[in-house]
Amino acid sequence: MTGPMMNPSLDAAPATGHVAGGWRGVLRQLVADRMGRIGLLMVVAVVLVAVAGPLLAPYDRTAVAASRTGILQSPSAAHWLGTDELGRDILRQVLAGTSVSLEIGLIATLITVLIGTAVGVLAGWFTGFVDAVLMRITDFFLVLPSLPLMIALGAIIGQSLTMIVFVIALTSWPSTARIVRSQALAVREREVVARARTVGLSSAGILWRLILPGVLALVIANAVLVIAGSILAEATLSFLGLGDPTRTSWGQILHNAFVTGAVGNGYWWYFLPPGIGIVIVVLAFSLVGQSLERILDPRLAAAA
Amino acid sequence: MSLLRVHDLTVAYPAGTAMIRAVDGVDLDVNPGEVVGLAGESGCGKSTLALAIARLLPRGAVVSADEMSLGGTDLRTVADDELRSLRWSRLSLVFQGAMSGFNPVMRVGDQIAEAIRTHEPDAGRREVADRVAELLSQVGIAPARSEDFPHQMSGGMKQRAMIAMALACRPELVIADEPTTALDVMTQAQILDLIRRLADELGLAMLIISHDLTVLAELCDRVAVMYAGRIVERGEADEIFGAAGPAHPYTRRLLDCYPRLEGGQGSISGIPGSPPDLANPPSGCRFHDRCDKAVPRCTTDDPALQMVGSSAGHLAACHLLAIAEAVSP
Amino acid sequence: MSVKQSDAVIAEIRDLRVHFPVRRGRQQLIARAVDGIDLQIHEGEIVALVGESGCGKTTVARTLMRLQEPSSGSVAIGGVDITRARGRGLRRLRRDFQMIFQDPFECLAPNSTAIDVVTEGLRIHRGDLDAAARRAAGLTALEMCGLTPAATIAERRIFQLSGGQRQRVAIAAALAIEPRLLVADEPVSMLDVSLRAGVIRVLLNLRERLGIAMLFITHDLALAGVFADRVAVLYLGRVVEQGPAAEVIGSPRHPYTAALVGVMPKADGGHRGPRPILSGEPPNATATVLGCRFRPRCPLYRQLGEPDLCQAEEPALPIIASDDSADHVVACHFSDGDTSTTSKENIS
């Protein structure tokens, strides 16, 4: 038997997890993929808005209306998206909400990925008893319902965005752990790992230098999808009134809109913008995440 | 009158802005009842050549040929439906790794039967079943094993079954790509014995592709050797593997790479360097940078296939032949 | 005859057995991949372990490297029983025995540089060396393996190298820590025929200059015959014949060895006449065979009229054939004579 042809145009990503061209190559492939390209543009737009947004609308977010005529106004030249029940400019709130939603999404994702990857890698590497114990713990957290947990914790700790982040991470890390574990198990069987053992590398060394890099690609793709999920989760929880009323997140705006009866009374400028904002952000990260998954998962690449 | 005629076949793949010519102007003929071998190492283009003939190349490959015909049919332009009926009834294939040839969820006997029925829809059930049993025993498998699923068969047995399936519709030509790679040496001997016997008994025409010269020495009447997309030598197997030895330096060095016990440790020999980048083939002879007999002309002129001595069937693409001719009285 | 070979035993395998539980349908079977192997490797010696798939040769290699736990038996390297070692102690011992793997595209991390791969072992086992010393040793190793100019190749990444080059990097990495034993598992099977000699020469060079002993696993009997000093032929987990390479292949005493020699592929001479090809395939390791495990396929058994001894008793090493050297041993009840004539005809 002879080795494979060194023909770059016909090579799929080989089983050893080397992605042709490194991370720059990944970026190139992401841009080449239509879905990925659209998602990437949307993400960039969202991030720009989050960073620069508050500078765009001149109004003070919390400035309330001087009189009753200033409340619940439909869009006008003065207020592009109208005002809410306290006369506050909605555009300003929506723009501010972008950064809040992103912030929460990113922090929750970071915690989720850290815990999920650690658990997944350890379970996948040690197998046996350690794997069994870790997986039972994972299963326990997997079935925890987030809503009742939030309510209970909210009553105990008090409602805040920190608590939301905490609960989202708590209920999201198990699925990341399971994905990482599968990949860790696969990486463990590779000949690179067998050779590393014969050279004398310790378990810790192999984990750090071979297993972790081997799961990294999948973790990143998964993380991007978790961002989407976290933002949606936060929006849901805030909408249900479990969020922090003092911070303006889109979910919180929706909550206010709902409570004020905006839906029934047709104050579309109140509930549509934050809703659309949520859709755009979640869609953006989902597109990028799915595209990355396609590019980085060697099995999917081979099937393509 | 040749059965398979291929003239000036070129297969190119786009890679970035360049075109890589995996097969570059190749001529190949197979006569009825003849076993022809195509030898070469990885990247030489032999598998691409086989796929081109069978019209199984991936999309994006650019194929051109002056002629490529099986019997009277022009393989370059044949329509899809005729191609489908042609495959298996006139031209069948045995590929390496017999596992990829079989459907894992169908019994082996059923798959062979299906192949027969697709091309002979009028054949009765009894007749088909009898044919399957006959085919299996011809390749040395007990007919009862037709009930097995592919995963229940060993590597050697699957390869035999693959051969049985290839012969099911009594094709004119069988193309076998690395038919014994990944098989144990004893099993390989069994399969080669089988192929040789079947070729003799049934008068089959075969094109055998292998990187393993020992396989071709065993089976073939005529052999062609490929290097960097070109055929560098062709001729009767007896001439090339016989006492006089091959005429082309590459073939000679390649034969020397197979260890011979009499030679001892010192006889272990290889070929320095590596095959050329097909996107940028070197000027002159493609083998000149690795050839120990190269003369200045080899770096500038690309040699064409020319006769070796007086035997019309033995050709090699090497300038040294002309020099030898000029020198000898 | 080779330089630096001595009578000192570097590696000693005693009654090694590796059994795997296997479930087939409802049954719980045992696959006896390695079923009682004794083998000695002397300093500077190259021993080839030859056999077809399923004979256990790869399992022996992996068990030797402690990638696989033995069910019973022991392996001693440099006098130390490595089968008892664990954890950090085992990792320290690993310096003495290193392995070259079969697939050069699967065993090295593609993004590492060649020098990183070569100096990795030094980082682990030679804490006394600083970075500059490690680099120097790494470059020397690369040069010894024919990868020149070493300084340029050192900075190349593995995915930029060809199969033959990767194998040389792997060999350089192994020799950098100066092991006493090198286990090479089919190191050239996945390389093109023209590239194999380069890698084989590197290994021979190592033996010449550094006196490293080698266990060379291969299915290619011809290569084993040319490359190794001694050959051990495996069948279904046991050694059936063992001895000096030229002798075992030149005059095989076991009917299985004779059959393997008979079907050895040859590139010259064109078509050959009829030769004895064994029918069937080796049974898998879960099968239980009474007496000699080669009996079902043994041509000698049939030739001798199916003697009861072959079914009653499993033949053991050593049974020394009379006119060969003392270390040519065979596990066969009837090894004197008959097989040698058949095989000699085929070697010419």
Q: Is B271 on the interface with C (CB under 8 A)?
A: yes
Domain boundary among B147, B170, B193: B170
Residue A11 has pLDDT above 50, yes or no: no
Q: Give phi and psi for B86, each to the nearest 5.
A: -70, -40
Query: Which segments of C285-340 are extended strands (E)?
Result: 319-320, 329-330
Q: Is C201 on the interface with A (CB under 8 A)?
A: no
Mutate to test the interface with C, among B35, B152, B180, B185 (most CBs of C within 10 A): B185
Of the candidates C145, C136, C137, C189, the residue with the CA atom closest to the CA atom of residue C165: C145
| Cβ <8 Å between C277 and B267 | no
Q: Which residue has the tokens 């199916």?
A: C306
CATH of the domain at C112: 3.40.50.300
Last residue in a domain, options B144, B170, B196: B170
The overall average pLDDT reported for chain B is 88
pLDDT of A187 > 90? The answer is yes
Indicate whether B225 and B83 sit together in one domain: yes
Q: Residue C41's beta-bridge partner residues?
A: C11
Same domain, B212 and B164: no
Give residue A60's pLDDT band: very low, low, confident or very high (50, 70, 90).
low
One domain, residues B111 and B211: no
Question: pLDDT band at A226, cuts 50/70/90?
Answer: very high
**CA nearest to A23 within chain C:** C111
Bridge partners, C81 (sequence order): C76
B207 pLDDT above the threshold of 90: yes
Left (φ > 0), alpha (ψ -120 to 50) or beta: where does A87 sit? left
Higher pLDDT pick, C5 / B206: B206
- Interface probe for B, chosen from C194, C202, C251, C346 (most Cβ of B below 10 Å), is C194
Q: Are B263 and C226 spatial neighbours (Cβ–Cβ below 8 Å)?
A: yes
Average pLDDT rounded to a whole number, residues B179-200: 87
Give yes or no for residue B10 having a pLDDT over 80.
Answer: yes
Same domain, B191 and B277: yes
Q: pLDDT value at position A303?
A: 38
Q: Nearest chain B Cα to C265, which residue?
A: B214
> B13 and A8 in contact by Cβ < 8 A?
no
Q: What is the pLDDT of residue A67?
A: 60
Cβ C268–B242 below 8 Å, yes or no? yes
Report yes or no: C109 at the A interface, CB cutoff 8 Å.
yes
For A7, name the nearest residue in chain B, comparing CA atoms only.
Answer: B43
Average pLDDT along chain A: 82
What integer pLDDT is reported at residue A68 of this predicted model? 62
pLDDT higher than threshold 50 for residue A271? yes
Spans of all domains in chain A: 25-52+84-303
Does the structure show a pLDDT above 50 at A301? no
Residue C240 phi, psi dihedral angles, 5° rounding: -100, -20
Has residue A222 got a pLDDT over 60?
Answer: yes
Please indicate, yes or no, if residue B95 is contained in any of the structural domains.
Answer: no
Closest-CA residue to A23 (of A296, A298, A301, A299) = A296
Please calculate the CA angle C38-C43-C47 and round it to the nearest 5 degrees. 50
Judged against a pLDDT cut of 80, whether residue B196 lies above it is answered with yes
Residue A3: its pLDDT value, please? 32
Provide, as residue numbers in chain B, all residues whose Cβ is less than 8 Å from the Cβ of A11: none
Do C279 and C174 fall into the same domain?
Answer: no
Q: CA-based angle B30:B34:B40, to the nearest 5? A: 65
Which residue reads 């079969």 in tokens?
C102
**Domain annotation covers residue C3:** no
Residue B21 has pLDDT above 50, yes or no: yes
Q: Is A8 on the interface with B (CB under 8 A)?
A: yes
CA distance B329 to B238: 26
Residue in B31, B119, B41, B110 with CA at minimum distance from that of residue B70? B31
Note the pLDDT of residue C346: 34
> pLDDT tens, B86-127?
888 889 988 876 556 788 899 999 999 998 888 888 888 899
Using the predicted structure, report yes or no on whether residue A14 has a pLDDT greater than 50. no
What is the length of chain B? 329
pLDDT the model gives residue B100: 63
- pLDDT bin (cut points 50, 70, 90) of residue A155 is confident
Domain boundary among B151, B170, B189: B170
Predicted local distance difference test score (pLDDT) of residue A58: 57
Q: How far apart are CA B180 and CA B188, in angstroms?
A: 6
Domain C-terminal end among C181, C216, C235: C235
Q: Which CATH class is domain A25-52+84-303?
A: mainly alpha
Residue B245, domain member (yes or no): yes
Per-residue pLDDT reduced to its tens digit, A244-254: 878 888 888 89
Alpha carbons within 13 A on the beta-carbon side of C279 = 7
CB contact under 8 A, B15 and A4: no
Q: Do C67 and A198 touch (CB under 8 A)?
A: yes
Residue pointed to by tokens 């005729």: B82
Q: How far, in Å, CA of B326 to CA of C342, rounded?
A: 48
* Of A2, A8, A9, Cβ closest to residue B42: A2
C267: closest chain B residue by CA? B214
Rg (CA), chain B: 21
Instruction: Answer yes or no: pTM beyond 0.90.
Output: no
**Together in a domain, B214 and B303:** yes
Residues B164 and B185 in one domain: no
Q: Which range among A50-64, B220-234, C314-328 has the greatest average pLDDT?
A: B220-234
Query: Does residue B283 sit within a domain?
Result: yes
Chain A residue at shortest CA distance from C106? A191
Are C224 and C257 part of one and the same domain?
no
- Are B202 and B300 contained in the same domain? yes
pLDDT confidence of residue C277? 82
With a pLDDT cut of 70, the percent of chain A lying above it is 85
Q: What is the pLDDT along chain C (348 residues), one digit of tens a residue?
A: 444 567 789 999 999 999 999 887 888 889 999 999 999 999 999 999 999 888 899 999 999 999 999 999 999 998 899 998 988 999 999 999 999 999 999 999 988 999 999 999 999 999 899 999 999 999 999 999 999 899 999 999 999 998 899 999 999 999 999 999 999 999 999 898 999 999 999 999 999 899 999 999 999 999 999 999 999 999 999 999 999 999 999 889 899 999 999 888 877 654 555 667 888 777 788 887 888 888 888 888 888 888 888 888 888 876 544 455 667 888 888 876 544 433 333 333
**What confidence score (pLDDT) does residue B281 get?**
84
- By residue range, what is the domain housing residue B75? 4-90+171-327
CB-CB under 8 Å, A5 with B43: yes
* CB proximity C148 to B under 8 Å: no
Q: Could you give the maximum distance between any two Cα atoms of chain C, in Å? A: 70
Of C91, C106, C189, the CB nearest to A192: C106
Which B residues in the span 216-245 are in contact with C, Cβ-Cβ below 8 Å?
217-218, 237-238, 241-242, 245
Q: Do B181 and A8 touch (CB under 8 A)?
A: no
Asked whether residue B124 falls in the same domain as residue B247, the answer is no
Q: What is the pLDDT of residue A15?
A: 39
Chain A residue numbers touching B20 (CB-CB < 8 A): 7, 9
Mutate to test the interface with A, among C97, C100, C124, C167 (most CBs of A within 10 A): C124
Same structural domain, C95 and C63: yes
Name the pLDDT band for A302 (thresholds 50, 70, 90): very low
Q: Do C270 and B237 touch (CB under 8 A)?
A: yes
Flag if C190 and A2 touch (Cβ within 8 Å).
yes
Is C243 within the bounds of a domain? yes
C-alpha dist (Å) from residue B69 to B66, B221, B278:
10, 21, 27
Chain A residue with the nearest C-alpha to that of C219:
A1
- Min Cα separation C334/chain A (Å): 36
Q: What is the mean pLDDT of residues A73-83?
A: 75
Same domain for B272 and B141?
Answer: no
Q: What is the pLDDT of residue A16?
A: 43
Number of domains chain C contains: 2
CA C84 to chain centre: 22
Specify whether B163 is located in the same domain as B182.
no
Instruction: State the CATH number of the domain containing residue B84.
Output: 3.40.50.300
What pLDDT score was predicted for residue A145?
85
Amino acid at B107: R
**Residue A12, pLDDT score:** 32
Complete DSSP assignment for chain A: --PPP--GGGPPPPTT-PPTTHHHHHHHHHHHSHHHHHHHHHHHHHHHHHHHHHHHS-S-TTPPPSSGGGTTPPP-SSSTT-B-TT--BHHHHHHHHHHHHHHHHHHHHHHHHHHHHHHHHHHHHH-HHHHHHHHHHHHHHHT--HHHHHHHHHHHH---HHHHHHHHHHHHHHHHHHHHHHHHHHHHTSHHHHHHHHHT--HHHHIIIIIHHHHHHHHHHHHHHHHHHHHHHHHHHHHTT-S-TTS--HHHHHHHHHHTTHHHHT-HHHHHHHHHHHHHHHHHHHHHHHHHHHHH-HHHHHH-
Residue type, B236: E
Centroid of chain to Cα A64: 33
Cα gap B45→B51, rounded to integer Å: 10
The pLDDT value given to residue C338: 44
Cross-chain Cβ contact A3/B20 below 8 Å? no
Range of the domain at C298: 238-268+275-347
**pLDDT of A59 above 70:** no
Q: Does B96 reside within a domain? A: no
CB-nearest partner of A200 from C91, C109, C191 = C91
Residue-level pLDDT at C141: 94
Which backbone phi and psi does A184 adopt, to 5 degrees? Answer: -60, -40
Residue of chain B whose alpha carbon sits nearest to that of A4: B42
| Beta carbons of C226 and B255 less than 8 Å apart | no
Domain assignment present for residue B75? The answer is yes
Count the Cβ atoms, other than its own, within 10 Å of residue B70: 23
Tell me the DSSP string of B198-227: HHHHHT-EEEEEES-HHHHHHH-SEEEEEE
Q: What is the mean pLDDT of residues B301-314?
A: 86
